[in-house]
Structure 1
Amino acid sequence: MSDIEEIKLRRLDLTVLLVFLNLLRLRKAVDVAAHMGLTQSSISHSLNRLRAIFDDPLFLRRPQGLEPTAFALALEPKIRIAVEALGLALSKPEAFSPAEAQGVVRIAAYDAQLAVLVPGLICALDRLAPGLRISATAIGRREALRALEDRQVDLAFGYFWDVSDNFIAEELGQETYRVAARHGHPLFDSDMTLESYVAQRHLMVSMSGDFNGVVDRSLERLGLSRHVAAVVPLFFPALATLSQSDLIATLPTRLVDRHGASFGLQSCLPPLQIRPFTVSAVRHARDARNPMVDWVVSQVRAFSTLRADTSVGAVEAG
């Protein structure tokens, strides 16, 4: 675009373009003024601007009204396309059509959320949006936010306790904990007490390899501690380990409910109060009005029944 063309473009506005199109249609300035709710002087002023910008009279006065020049008639389809494009930009986004959608939905989450949320989502897409594909990556919170920032993923699921204004977090529900161990573990021979719980050898899940987590902080408030015999970075290796050992683990309720039986595990409520956590779907702010992301989140919400289970055993942490 040349400098002269840019200067001319800056002199145009949507009102002037609408005046041009309405003059072509109605052929009388008084009728255009009434139709647009403007004064006749405003119409004349707009026409003068158009003539100066395009260096053409555009409309010739005749007894029956205004007659467009050949240049004006040739200009009309180009102006109409520009106005319609602006109108489309101002209109509401088209409704998302899952059955016709094509593309890849990229998701980041820790493996617990992948195991609980993604299977249902894949089934929903297979049934309602077969043209959409899922690509899921098992990464932690910080890496997931970085991937959203870098456009590597569309959504992140998990526990995000604070996010900047660059992101939008939508709560899916509250998650609680269950104590899990192999079927027939002596721990289940009688009602679990806090004493029998802390006396066990514990398995813990931590991507960073830490031996201290939310359970330990709850025990500390009671002046107690437990023995963490092993730490693994993911939840499914934890389930597999429990099935082959006498270790116990305190794991997210939904994970145990969905997959514990497949590993031959039993579970029960922990004998102390452990702070529940919120599971959210997080997107980048640039996707605040992305209809595909909206639809995917709505599907996850439809089959996700995350809710807090406030029941605990005989002893509660203060």
Structure 2
Amino acid sequence: MMTIRENDFSRIDMNLLTVLLVLHREGSVSRAAEKLHLGQPAVSGALARLREMFQDPLFVRGASGMLPTPRAESLVAELAPLMEHLQQVLFQPPSFTPATARHTFRLGMSDWVERWLMPDLLAVVARDAPGVTLQITASDPFQDGALVQQDRVDVAITVAGETDAGLIREQVHSMDFCTLWHPAQLALSAPLTLQAYVDNDHLLVSYRGASHSAIDQRLAEQGAQRRVRYVTPHFSSLPPLLSRIPALATVPAGLAAEWSARYGLSRSAVPLTTPAIDLSLLWHKRHDKDPALGWLLLLLRGVMQAGGEHSEHNSKSEKAPF
């Protein structure tokens, strides 16, 4: 809580404090005037006002110049570091040095984005900024804007298409969907046919519990319908479920290569045209000039784009055609 008594400062001209410090350093009115680019009468007038303000002579003439009184020495000892700090705050552009920074960044993202993005991102942060901590808040497209607006996260990685007032949204990467299943549960081959897609049960991720998605809308437009057997808000629950039941799960393609390798899942392109997943960075305008956030955004852009290229390369280099 601020405890400054505003009225106390209404009587003070900050320029006078600068004159006090320069007079102390130079020990001469004429040399102080030269350093301050002022006339000697102006500095003499400022000294007169300083004496009235502090009710002390502050400087007296001596054989070697203007000698500070104990009151002047005390004031300079207290004011000099404060004025130096004020000068840095006002005139030195803020900076962020990753190698030496001690900083915590708060990121909002869904579980699948964390699974896809964070291994590469955290590896880079650990290498380049060992004093930086990343704190993840579970989010989804319906919460991302509020988390940023309420300053609960510094940046959200979002698939939401709308941008609330006061926020900045930057699309960084797009990816397709991919359909997964376990070969021990379903004897299917890639690429899936539309008939095979609708003949089998589906696991669906929905952040609000809906059993209908944009894919179901596309199916309806083609006169088809699928059966959703299970709805969850967690992508991470899908691999163990697929290993136990005969079902399909359609997920962001960024997860497909790792899940295929780690859990022995088969994969295929979705056998109908689906909207791309547009991944964006979302942050508040009031932090737009923050150098620490600027470093993080630059890092996120690079890792997201490189991760997307890596996922696409993996998917195209393997047998599954998607």
TM-score bracket for the superposition, by shorter chain length: 0.7 to 0.9
Query: Residues 270-314 of structure 1, C-alpha deviation per residue, up to 9 Å, x if partnerless?
Result: 2333222322333455544555544444444333233698xxxxx
Q: CA deviation at 1:269?
A: 2.1
Question: Is the contact made by 1:180 and 1:251 (CA closer than 8 Å) also made in structure 2?
Answer: yes
**Structure 2 counterpart SS, 1:260:** helix
In structure 2, runs of 5+ residues without a counterpart are 313-322
Q: CA deviation at 1:69?
A: 3.2
Question: Is the contact made by 1:14 and 1:83 (CA closer than 8 Å) also made in structure 2?
Answer: no
Q: Is 1:93 equivalent to 2:75 in the alignment?
A: no
Q: Give the 5 Å matches for 1:155-304.
A: 155-183=155-183, 185-188=186-189, 191-222=191-222, 224-285=224-285, 287-304=287-304
Query: Residues 187-223 of structure 1, C-alpha deviation per residue, up to 9 Å, x if partnerless?
Result: 426x444454344433211021112212123344555
Match of 1:55 in 2: 55
Q: Is 1:16 equivalent to 2:11 in the alignment?
A: no
Question: Is the contact made by 1:96 and 1:291 (CA closer than 8 Å) also made in structure 2?
Answer: no
Matched to 1:117, the amino acid is L
Question: Is the contact made by 1:109 and 1:138 (CA closer than 8 Å) also made in structure 2?
Answer: yes
Query: Residues 229-275 of structure 1, C-alpha deviation per residue, up to 9 Å, x if partnerless?
Result: 33222112223323333322221010112223322212222233322
Question: Is the contact made by 1:16 and 1:46 (CA closer than 8 Å) also made in structure 2?
Answer: yes
Question: Is the contact made by 1:200 and 1:247 (CA closer than 8 Å) also made in structure 2?
Answer: yes
Taking the aligned partners of 1:2 and 1:226, their CA distance within structure 2 comes to 64
**Structure 2 counterpart SS, 1:141:** coil
Match of 1:34 in 2: 34
Taking the aligned partners of 1:27 and 1:79, their CA distance within structure 2 comes to 17
Matched to 1:236, the amino acid is S
TM-score, normalised via structure 1 length: 0.78
Taking the aligned partners of 2:68 and 2:188, their CA distance within structure 1 comes to 92
Matched to 2:240, the amino acid is A
Query: Residues 145-176 of structure 1, C-alpha deviation per residue, up to 9 Å, x if partnerless?
Result: 44445554444323232233444444442222
Q: Which range moves more in the overlay, 61-70 or 77-86?
A: 61-70
Taking the aligned partners of 2:193 and 2:45, their CA distance within structure 1 comes to 87
**Structure 1 counterpart SS, 2:56:** coil
Taking the aligned partners of 2:303 and 2:7, their CA distance within structure 1 comes to 55
Q: Which range moves more in the overlay, 278-287 or 75-84?
A: 278-287
Match of 1:312 in 2: none
- Percent of aligned positions that are identical: 27
Taking the aligned partners of 1:35 and 1:101, their CA distance within structure 2 comes to 36
Alpha-carbon distance change, 224 to 173 in structure 1, aligned in 2, over 3 angstroms: same
Taking the aligned partners of 1:59 and 1:10, their CA distance within structure 2 comes to 24
**Structure 2 counterpart SS, 1:11:** coil
What is the root-mean-square deviation in Å for CA atoms of aligned residues?
3.5
Alpha-carbon distance change, 164 to 39 in structure 1, aligned in 2, over 3 angstroms: farther
**Structure 1 counterpart SS, 2:257:** helix
Query: Residues 38-96 of structure 1, C-alpha deviation per residue, up to 9 Å, x if partnerless?
Result: 34454344333322221223234578754433322322122212211201212223432
**Structure 2 counterpart SS, 1:188:** coil
Matched to 1:20, the amino acid is L
Taking the aligned partners of 2:38 and 2:162, their CA distance within structure 1 comes to 51
Taking the aligned partners of 1:245 and 1:8, their CA distance within structure 2 comes to 75
Question: Is the contact made by 1:165 and 1:285 (CA closer than 8 Å) also made in structure 2?
Answer: no
Aligned residues: 306
